[in-house]
Chain A
Amino acid sequence: MKNIELIVPAIHCSHCVHTIKMELSDMGGVEKVNVDLNSKQVSVSYKSPASETKIRDLLADINYPAEK
């Protein structure tokens, strides 16, 4: 089990929060997603087959790219 924390600057409303949570939860291997609207922080707990790259790719894909 791994945890990452990413900053996603594009988060600005609760819709964004909901979208990110939902999309990440749909990915195989993702166990838990937390999104904070104020700090724009996304924390993900995951195991294989999910990976940091896959998560970053998905976020970029849905128009919420994470900061490097």
Chain B
Amino acid sequence: MPKENNLILPIQGMTCANCVSTVERNIRKLNGIQNVAVNLSSERAAVSFDGQKVNLDQIVQKIQRAGYDVALAEGEFVLKENPDAMDAERISRNLMKVIGIREVKFNISSGKVIVRYIPTLVSQLEIRAQLKKIGFEALILGDRGVDQEEIIRKKEIQKQKNLLIVGILFTTPLFILSMGRDFGLVPDTIGNRKWFDWLLFALATPVQFYVGAQYYIGAYKSLRNGSANMDVLIAMGSSVAYFYSFLILLGVFTGHVYLETAAVIITLIRLGKFLEARAKGKTGNAIRKLLNLQPKKARVRKGDEIIEIDSADVNVGDILVVKPGDSIPVDGIVIKGKSQVDESMITGESKSVIKEIGDRVIGSTQNRNGLLEIEATRVGKDTTLAQIIKLVESAQGSKAPIQGLADQISAIFVPIVLAIAFLTFLFWYFFASVPISQTGLNTLSRALINAVSVLVIACPCAMGLATPTAVMVGTGKAANSGILFRTAEALEIAQKTDTVVLDKTGTITRGHPEVSSIQLIGGYSDEEMALKHAASLESASEHPLGEAIVAEAGNRGVTLVDVSNFNSITGMGVAGEVDGLEILVGNIKLMQGNAIEINQEVFQAMKGFQNNAETPILVSMEGQIIAVIGIGDQVKENSYQAIDLIKSSGRSLIMLTGDNNLTAKAIGERAGIENIISEVLPGQKADKIRELQEKGSIVAMVGDGVNDAPALAQADLGVALGTGSDIAVASAPVTLLGGDLGSVMKAFTISKMTLTTIKQNLFWAFFYNVILIPVAMAGLLNPMLAAGAMAFSSVFVVSNSLRLMKKKL
């Protein structure tokens, strides 16, 4: 009985009907194929075949030979438990048995399994299930990063801790016995016996090769690559002391053994590494804080029912119910309800924002007081929060230019130190006076021990930590205040800028027309009534100035009424009957056209608004002007303070705008900016920035990320004002999520603080070596003290970076 199989395969590369017949014909050539149908438009081949005569591999090969391919999907699965090589082999063997899985790859260090599979035959869900069946749970994408990193970090710390404990267990008795003998606390009758030395040797050996194994491996790898790193120095330093002692034990030399020196070097540096690993974990706290914001559960409305599901399982289009006090699970649009939402965790803006139907909400922000129903618009890795995290992570991983210096020095540092150590040995062996024999110190041991001190003190690991730890903490701290640095370079350059160019519209000002004030005319005294008439009439028009009037009525809680005989006169305004009264709203031409008198008072009012770069709108009732409404793009409240702060930081401030000179000057005057570049076409903004740069300025340009993109790219530092949901669009090196100009100065401050920290770190790391290498060369530094000092320097650098987190902005 032939076993029949039916498969659908996605085919890649077909362009025409000939391709279809080629694929079909070639598959048919195989023995055991019963039927083949290839569809060009869906790019699918339906194949039925006898599973005993032919298998999927042969079919795929045949398709490939015909010049086409089977389309493969790639899925990444992050395992909760890190697989070792054995596990990987088992996972691979098991997954490859699943029909449709073509390739299984591993990234052991991050616990990632990458599976390439035929999507028509097997789904990610099934692969996940298969993994679970053999005992490996894969994390749901979206919450990976964190947990995984956390697990790896914890494992690393645990490993360091275990090694440290072993090191301490053996080193402590070794140290006590050895020092006890040197200081005469152990009677000579025991201390001078050969077995006592062998006992010390027995204690030192596990430390040397078990606790210190990592240094030997690291040194070997580094030397094989033709470079030399700190592992080489530690391995060499401790090995010299250890093997020299061993040769003495064997009777090759006579002299004092330095077994405790070898063991103490390794154990102390272990201690430093352990403290460093623990502190380094903390540098990622900012990201962890962001990740923890996302609520684990979401309430989804399914018909009349509300069910609770994992936030990771929410789909686009799901209707989510968010209770007061709960966090919003994903990005979405409000479809029911009204509430205050705290967005401070994303935007850094502490004031709550009112959200009503049609408003966008950001996932992980907190609903304060009302019940909201939202429709999910972005889920999983597309949410604002996920994008912020991705961005911050990539910035933290990027290299600041200042690190180049440290890298260059580190690269030549180790060979130089090796040379210095060798010279130290030569000097003390051949040229120094014969030592006063005390505790068996002869010329050879003295020369060796001084060389060991040089090797150990010169380890450049603090130098390697100086920049990246500060960058991690700095970008993380910035992200927690709603300031996203895209690269470490941006973080470094921000503090160097001496000129800040602000785009006017949308940056200094709100970016849309608003009513500034209403001036009543001819003794008319009811401001609300005038607004009500004008707004009721304008609510039927779609003019932006009209919308501003309607919005003002909404803000003041004025109720609008119905309009009859509505008439819109393009370029002039609107007319109609409100509450039985004839109302006109528009410009001076509209009034003149209707023979309405424009007296001196009206002219005065109009001129007042015009001087302020605002547009005056006239309102008439029954043939009499009753009010003039001023409408203009208003300066944001927080712009004033932000501008003051930037000015007082000593930077020159320039406003860039497409407006005419008069308007620009009026706005500049109000905002407190003297330097104005006006009448700039959108395409010329980048040129203006270049002109400033040619004069030697280091320019930060602040604008909206979409329209000002070329200017932002031209500037030394592009700063985009975001509104929280458009990070993906804004491509500037710095994005201010709150859309708040005040954050510009904060960004400069964080940059400055981070750079100061980096410089301090580098100073201490170098200073250390520069001061202590000569001390070690002079034979004044015990190798054990050198190891302690060296461990301390790394811990100091990491702690100094962590201090950034606590600083106030």
**A22 close to B25 (CB less than 8 A):** no
**A62 close to B22 (CB less than 8 A):** yes
Shortest beta-carbon distance from A47 to chain B in Å: 23
CA–CA, A62 to B26, complex, Å?
10
Binds A, one of B11-19, B513-521, B538-546, B641-649: B11-19
Asked if B66 CB lies within 8 Å of chain A CBs, one says yes
CA–CA, A18 to B65, complex, Å?
9
Shortest beta-carbon distance from B454 to chain A in Å: 65
**B65 close to A16 (CB less than 8 A):** no
Asked if B21 CB lies within 8 Å of chain A CBs, one says yes
Cross-chain contact of B16 among A13, A18, A22, A62 (Cβ < 8 A): A13
CA–CA, A64 to B21, complex, Å?
11
Shortest beta-carbon distance from B65 to chain A in Å: 7
- Return the chain A residue nearest B14 by Cβ: A15
With A62-B21, A63-B21 already in contact, the answer to whether A19 and B67 are too (CB < 8 A) is yes
**A15 close to B18 (CB less than 8 A):** yes
0/1 per residue, B6-38, Cβ < 8 Å to A?
A: 000000010111110110010000000000000
**A22 close to B65 (CB less than 8 A):** yes
Most A CB within 10 A of own CB, among B13, B21, B22: B22
With A18-B67, A19-B66, A19-B67 already in contact, the answer to whether A13 and B15 are too (CB < 8 A) is yes
Residues of chain B in range 289-333 having any CB-CB distance to chain A below 8 Å: none
**B67 close to A22 (CB less than 8 A):** yes
CA–CA, A16 to B16, complex, Å?
10
Residues on the B chain within 8 Å of A62, using CB: 21-22, 25
Residues of chain A in range 1-49 having any CB-CB distance to chain B below 8 Å: 10, 12-13, 15-16, 18-19, 22
Residues on the B chain within 8 Å of A15, using CB: 13, 15-16, 18-19, 22, 67-68
CA–CA, A22 to B18, complex, Å?
14
0/1 per residue, B67-86, Cβ < 8 Å to A?
A: 11000000000000000000
**A19 close to B65 (CB less than 8 A):** no
Which bucket holds chain A's interface residue count?
A: 10 to 19
Residues on the A chain within 8 Å of B15, using CB: 13, 15
- Return the chain A residue nearest B65 by Cβ: A22
**B21 close to A22 (CB less than 8 A):** no
**B66 close to A16 (CB less than 8 A):** no
CA–CA, A62 to B18, complex, Å?
8
CA–CA, A51 to B13, complex, Å?
32
Residues of chain A in range 44-65 having any CB-CB distance to chain B below 8 Å: 62-64
Residues on the B chain within 8 Å of A19, using CB: 18, 22, 66-67
Most B CB within 10 A of own CB, among A10, A13, A16, A19: A19
CA–CA, A63 to B20, complex, Å?
11
Residues on the B chain within 8 Å of A63, using CB: 17-18, 21
Residues on the B chain within 8 Å of A22, using CB: 65-67
Residues on the B chain within 8 Å of A16, using CB: 18
Residues of chain B in range 111-148 having any CB-CB distance to chain A below 8 Å: none
Shortest beta-carbon distance from B582 to chain A in Å: 74
Residues on the B chain within 8 Å of A64, using CB: 18
CA–CA, A64 to B22, complex, Å?
11
CA–CA, A6 to B13, complex, Å?
27
Residues on the B chain within 8 Å of A13, using CB: 15-16
Residues on the A chain within 8 Å of B66, using CB: 18-19, 22
With A15-B13, A62-B25 already in contact, the answer to whether A10 and B67 are too (CB < 8 A) is no
Residues on the A chain within 8 Å of B18, using CB: 10, 15-16, 19, 63-64
- Return the chain A residue nearest B67 by Cβ: A18
Shortest beta-carbon distance from B14 to chain A in Å: 8
- Return the chain B residue nearest A62 by Cβ: B25
CA–CA, A16 to B17, complex, Å?
11
CA–CA, A22 to B67, complex, Å?
9
Residues of chain B in range 55-71 having any CB-CB distance to chain A below 8 Å: 65-68
Shortest beta-carbon distance from B710 to chain A in Å: 40
Residues on the B chain within 8 Å of A12, using CB: 16
Residues on the A chain within 8 Å of B67, using CB: 15, 18-19, 22
CA–CA, A55 to B65, complex, Å?
20
CA–CA, A59 to B66, complex, Å?
15
Residues on the A chain within 8 Å of B21, using CB: 62-63
CA–CA, A12 to B22, complex, Å?
14
- Return the chain A residue nearest B22 by Cβ: A19
Shortest beta-carbon distance from B209 to chain A in Å: 59
Shortest beta-carbon distance from B24 to chain A in Å: 11
Shortest beta-carbon distance from B746 to chain A in Å: 57
Residues on the A chain within 8 Å of B22, using CB: 15, 19, 62
Most A CB within 10 A of own CB, among B66, B67, B68: B67
- Return the chain A residue nearest B25 by Cβ: A62
- Return the chain B residue nearest A26 by Cβ: B29
CA–CA, A32 to B19, complex, Å?
23
Residues on the A chain within 8 Å of B16, using CB: 12-13, 15
- Return the chain B residue nearest A11 by Cβ: B18
- Return the chain B residue nearest A61 by Cβ: B25
Shortest beta-carbon distance from B533 to chain A in Å: 71
- Return the chain A residue nearest B21 by Cβ: A63
Shortest beta-carbon distance from A10 to chain B in Å: 7
CA–CA, A15 to B68, complex, Å?
9
Most A CB within 10 A of own CB, among B16, B18, B19, B68: B18
Shortest beta-carbon distance from B334 to chain A in Å: 52
CA–CA, A30 to B219, complex, Å?
60
Shortest beta-carbon distance from B616 to chain A in Å: 67
Shortest beta-carbon distance from B23 to chain A in Å: 10
Residues on the B chain within 8 Å of A10, using CB: 18
Residues on the A chain within 8 Å of B68, using CB: 15
Shortest beta-carbon distance from A24 to chain B in Å: 13
Shortest beta-carbon distance from A58 to chain B in Å: 11
CA–CA, A63 to B68, complex, Å?
18
CA–CA, A12 to B15, complex, Å?
11
CA–CA, A64 to B17, complex, Å?
12
Shortest beta-carbon distance from A57 to chain B in Å: 14
CA–CA, A19 to B706, complex, Å?
48
Shortest beta-carbon distance from B28 to chain A in Å: 12
- Return the chain B residue nearest A13 by Cβ: B15
Shortest beta-carbon distance from B476 to chain A in Å: 51
Shortest beta-carbon distance from A33 to chain B in Å: 14
- Return the chain A residue nearest B17 by Cβ: A63
- Return the chain B residue nearest A17 by Cβ: B67
- Return the chain B residue nearest A64 by Cβ: B18
Shortest beta-carbon distance from A36 to chain B in Å: 17
Most B CB within 10 A of own CB, among A13, A15, A18, A62: A15
CA–CA, A62 to B17, complex, Å?
11
Residues of chain B in range 359-416 having any CB-CB distance to chain A below 8 Å: none
Pairs A-B, 9 closest by C-beta atoms: A18-B67, A19-B22, A63-B21, A15-B19, A63-B18, A15-B67, A16-B18, A13-B15, A15-B15
A-B pairs with beta carbons under 8 Å apart, 17 shown: A10-B18, A13-B15, A13-B16, A15-B15, A15-B16, A15-B22, A15-B67, A15-B68, A18-B66, A19-B22, A19-B66, A19-B67, A62-B21, A62-B22, A63-B17, A63-B21, A64-B18
**A→B interface (CB under 8 Å):** 10, 12-13, 15-16, 18-19, 22, 62-64
Given A15-B16, A16-B18, list of 7 further CB < 8 A pairs?
A13-B15, A13-B16, A15-B68, A18-B66, A18-B67, A19-B67, A63-B21
